[in-house]
Amino acid sequence: MPMKRRQAIQSLVGIPAVAAMPLPAAADATTPRVAVETPKTPVSVADAVAGGLPRFFSAEELAALGRLAEILLPAHGVAPGAGQVGVAEFLDFLVSQSPPKRAALYRDGLAKLNAEARRRYGKTFADLTAEQAEPVLQPLREPWTYHGPSDPFARFLAAAKEDVFTATVNSREWAAAMSRRVRSAGGLGAYWYPIED
Amino acid sequence: MKSDHEVLIIGSGASGGMVAHELTRKGIKCLMLDAGPSVDFDRHRTLKHVYDLPYRGFGRPGRFPHVTQATEFNANVWADETQNPYTYDPADPYYWVRVRLVGGKTLFWGRASWRLSDYEFRGKDHDGFGDNWPVRYQDLAPYYDRVEPMFRVSGRKEGLPQLPDGIFLEDNSPDSQAVERFVASARRMRIPTTKQRRATGELASSVNLLLPEALATGNLTIVSNAIAREITTDRSTGLANGVHFVDRRSKQDYWVGARVVVVGASCLESTRLLLNSGLANSSGALGHYLFDQIYVKNIVTCIVPEARGGRPPRGLTGGGGYVVRFRNLETREKKFLRGYSFDFGSGGTPHPRYFPLYGEALQKELADTAGAAFGMTCMGEVLPRYENHVRINKDVTDAWGIPVLHIQQKYGENEYEMAKDARSVAEELCRGAGFEVLASHAQMVPPGESIHELGACRMGDNPRTSVLNQFQQTHDIRNLFVVDGSSFVSGGCQNPTLTILALAMRSSEYLAEQMRTRAI
């Protein structure tokens, strides 16, 4: 086994481990001490100060996803809607990191959203009102089943509904708005660092 | 030898921890190897908000295709799937959930602590299927009696033969009205219920309840990051004489000797180690009779109608309990053998997926049903079958060059029929309580996902059909023991950890006595 750093230093200076420990009883109480605590510098995460830069979906796909998110989870009372918490940009990132199956589900689903909007109204999904979107989103009115719908477009809508919901309630903005009303807002949890040694 | 140990224990979880606890207090020096590092709760764990995590709580996509329990908060505690691969037939996926840390899965287990009964130990006598255990309930009862206080198990005594009572911290907490109504509905259907039985305390793990006392005797040394590659034997005697292991970080190989080798590396890892060592398989049963328990998660999701409106009054909702096995005790079902149980709980908000709504309508419904949910999960017995097995896949090795397991387990007609029955009973129980059934299903999670994998190295009186005797000693090699869940002959529907602990304690006593008399 390689020697640990502290052990190595101790062996170099030839003192036993216990002697290396501070001995408070022996120290003169009036002697100023050197601070032994090292500073812990508070830092923030990128998401707190900047918006995500979408790189995966095309502009038209992203616009459709943003509109879909707004319709699926609009602002409600003091709770912000999906459109206000950057859900489309976040999902662009998440889907870009996901296995190909999820990426295809989203790409094909967004294409179908726009195709349906064009067929019915001659415009993209991003330009639809919530009322106009209703027949397009009809599959979301079907009762829940364990395996979900077999139709890929219906599967996309079901996935988007869950993902938009999670991405919204797990956002910083939602937590800030809801922390007084919902105890679990902000999802405070025990996070485990990588455990290596 | 650099170390003066006599017994080498592989694994530091429930079974390995218990063996160390029992042997060291009898003055036997033990060396314990664990494949993973040691956890420092202060250093490795902190509080974070979900919005400060890089994937906003979704977790890194694709990191854990087989660990549905992994979240972005706890992702770093599960064994890495790329470093620790395994294979299966794509038609029969197996979800192998592993923790490779000192303390093993006892660091994070659900703590449910139920005794098995003679409906399990003498299962064959009862319905003719499978095999009886080489122990009866009365053999194990004294050990359950000792394990429960160690793990501070809370519960309520019921006097039910299929779920023996234990030495509990008595749970006399009042039930909410929703739970009372559910219990009354069950009573009308002659189905017994009880409080949960759980190990209590801030932590209920090998690392706080077993290993510290063992270490305090001065008779235990634990080596972390030591991955066992192969158990070695003495050519002249055929006895186990040590273990080859590899350091997880440096990949340096080592060998250490021992008078006795005790394997408690988890059901499938212990079996893999024996198979890779080519030992203890004169019966041909090693690796076979793998089973677990069926789980139908959220078999039913309900709403307590009186709790609608967003703020259920105090005492109306909350709490939960356990539906005790009731099938195939006095009567016999036509479509399946054995039985199942349910966990049930009141409170919380139903998941949005269950409502065929979106937008404003969905938000209104979620607000209206906040705190009003009632849910049940089914756990059922899986029949141990020879064809459900693991074998070594020589074509695939892990990050340390050790051949991996190929796992072949699938559920049969008995399990499917049981799940269907459980669904209809769950719905009936909830309707009888006056709850609105929002969703129900009978889809079992894939084999393995319950993290209750059992068998594959089973006990038995007959050395031609089993690997271990009643003291978890291999029939073939008298100084080689396998003390974890792989030794189970059948599993009932009760969570297995309490029985793993009791068996390991019993086997430790036997082993210590055998060593004292020099029989080993």
Across-strand partners of B316?
none
Tens of pLDDT along B58-84? 999 999 999 999 999 999 999 999 999
Percent of chain A residues past pLDDT 90, beyond the cut: 65
Q: What pLDDT does residue B218 have?
A: 98
Please indicate if any CB of chain B lies within 8 Å of the CB of A100: no
Please indicate if any CB of chain A lies within 8 Å of the CB of B443: yes
Q: Alpha-carbon distance B40 to B98, whole Å?
A: 19
**CB of B505 closer than 8 Å to CB of B22:** yes
The tokens describing A176, both together, are 């800030």
Q: Alpha-carbon distance B456 to B486, whole Å?
A: 5
Tens of pLDDT along A118-175? 999 999 999 999 999 999 999 999 999 999 999 999 999 999 999 999 999 999 999 9
Q: What pLDDT does residue A19 have?
A: 41
Q: What pLDDT does residue A21 have?
A: 44
Please indicate if any CB of chain B lies within 8 Å of the CB of A195: yes
Q: How many CB atoms lie within 10 A of CB B27?
A: 11
Instruction: Report the CATH number that the domain containing residue B283 is assigned in CATH.
Output: 3.50.50.60
Q: How many CB atoms lie within 10 A of CB B83?
A: 11
Q: What pLDDT does residue A15 have?
A: 41
H-run or E-run covering B212: helix B211-216
Q: What pLDDT does residue A32 have?
A: 65
Touching A: B residues 23-62, CB under 8 Å:
36-37, 39, 43-58, 60-62
Q: How many CB atoms lie within 10 A of CB A29?
A: 6
Q: What pLDDT does residue B353 have?
A: 97
Q: What pLDDT does residue A50 have?
A: 87
Closest Cα in chain B to A98 = B61
Q: Give the residue among B380, B40, B32, B387 at the shortest CA–CA distance from B225.
A: B32
Max Cα–Cα distance, chain B, nearest Å: 78
Range of the domain at B143: 7-40+75-516
Does the pLDDT value for residue B107 go beyond 90?
yes
Tens of pLDDT along B166-221? 999 999 999 999 999 999 999 999 999 999 999 999 999 999 999 999 999 999 99
- The count of C-alpha atoms lying within 13 angstroms of the C-alpha of B484, restricted to the half-sphere facing its C-beta, is 28
Handedness of CA B29, B32, B38, B40 (dihedral sign): negative
Residue at B273 is within a domain: yes
The residue with tokens 């319950």 is B450
Q: Alpha-carbon distance B400 to B420, whole Å?
A: 43
Q: How many CB atoms lie within 10 A of CB B496?
A: 25
Closest Cα in chain B to A99 = B62
Q: What pLDDT does residue A20 have?
A: 43
Strand-strand pairing, B373-381 and B293-303: antiparallel
The shortest C-alpha distance from B427 to chain A (Å) reads: 15
Mean pLDDT of the region B369-398? 98
Q: Give the residue among B52, B59, B67 at the shortest CA–CA distance from A163.
A: B59
Does the pLDDT value for residue B136 go beyond 80?
yes
Please report, for chain A, the start and end positions of each structural domain, with discontinuous segments joined by +: 51-177
Strand-strand pairing, B320-323 and B340-346: antiparallel
The verdict on a CB contact (< 8 Å) between A193 and B48 is no
Does the pLDDT value for residue A4 go beyond 50?
no
Distances (CA, A) of B42 to A35, A142, B47, B307: 22, 48, 11, 40
Which residue of A1, A74, A144 is in closest CB contact with B359? A74
Tens of pLDDT along B327-365? 999 999 999 999 999 999 999 999 999 999 999 999 999
Distances (CA, A) of B169 to B108, B149, B199, B311: 21, 8, 9, 32
DSSP string, B341-393: EEEEEE-S---GGGSS--HHHHHHHHHHTTT-EEEEEEEEE----TTSEEEEE
The verdict on a CB contact (< 8 Å) between A191 and B357 is no
The tokens describing A59, both together, are 């502009």
Closest Cα in chain A to B360 = A74
Q: Alpha-carbon distance B210 to B213, whole Å?
A: 6
Find chain B residues with C-beta within 8 A of A172's C-beta: 49, 51
Say how many domains are in chain B.
1
Q: What pLDDT does residue B308 have?
A: 97
In the chain, the amino acid numbered A172 is: R
Q: What pLDDT does residue A197 have?
A: 82
Which residue of A94, A141, A191 is in closest CB contact with B58? A94
Q: What pLDDT does residue A31 have?
A: 64
Percent of chain B residues past pLDDT 90, beyond the cut: 99
Residue at B58 is within a domain: no
Q: What pLDDT does residue A16 have?
A: 41
The residue with tokens 């009883």 is A25
Please indicate if any CB of chain A lies within 8 Å of the CB of B439: yes
Please indicate if any CB of chain B lies within 8 Å of the CB of A167: yes
* Complex confidence, ipTM: 0.93
Mean pLDDT of the region B139-146? 98
The residue with tokens 């896949």 is B393
Handedness of CA A6, A8, A14, A17 (dihedral sign): positive
Interhelix angle A59-72/B359-368, rounded to 10 degrees, is 40
Q: Environment class of residue A154 by beta-carbon count within 10 Å: exposed (0-12), middle (13-18) or buried (19+)?
A: middle
Write b or e for each residue in B89-127: b if 16 or more Cβ atoms lie within 10 A of its Cβ, otherwise e: eeeebbbbbbbbbbbbbbbbbebbbbbbbbbbbbbeebe
Handedness of CA A114, A118, A123, A128 (dihedral sign): negative
Q: What pLDDT does residue A34 have?
A: 66
Touching B: A residues 30-59, CB under 8 Å:
45, 47-48
The tokens describing B101, both together, are 């840390």
**CB of B267 closer than 8 Å to CB of B257:** no
The tokens describing B506, both together, are 């019993």
Does the pLDDT value for residue A186 go beyond 90?
no
Q: Where residue A52 falls among pLDDT bands split at 50, 70, 90?
A: confident
The verdict on a CB contact (< 8 Å) between A189 and B55 is no
The verdict on a CB contact (< 8 Å) between A142 and B249 is no
Which residue of A99, A142, A191 is in closest CB contact with B46? A191
**CB of B156 closer than 8 Å to CB of B167:** no
Does the pLDDT value for residue A187 go beyond 90?
no
Tens of pLDDT along B278-330? 999 999 999 999 999 999 999 999 999 999 998 899 999 999 999 999 999 99
Q: Give the residue among B268, B232, B281 at the shortest CA–CA distance from B463.
A: B281
Percent of chain B residues past pLDDT 70, beyond the cut: 100
Find chain B residues with C-beta within 8 A of A170's C-beta: 50-51, 56-57
Please indicate if any CB of chain B lies within 8 Å of the CB of A94: yes
Which residue of A98, A144, A193 is in closest CB contact with B44? A193
Q: What pLDDT does residue A23 have?
A: 46
Tens of pLDDT along B239-283? 999 999 999 999 999 999 999 999 999 999 999 999 999 999 999
The shortest C-alpha distance from B170 to chain A (Å) reads: 29
Q: Average model confidence (pLDDT) for chain B?
A: 97
Across-strand partners of B447?
none
Closest Cα in chain B to A163 = B58
In the chain, the amino acid numbered B50 is: V
- Look up residue A37 and give its DSSP letter: P
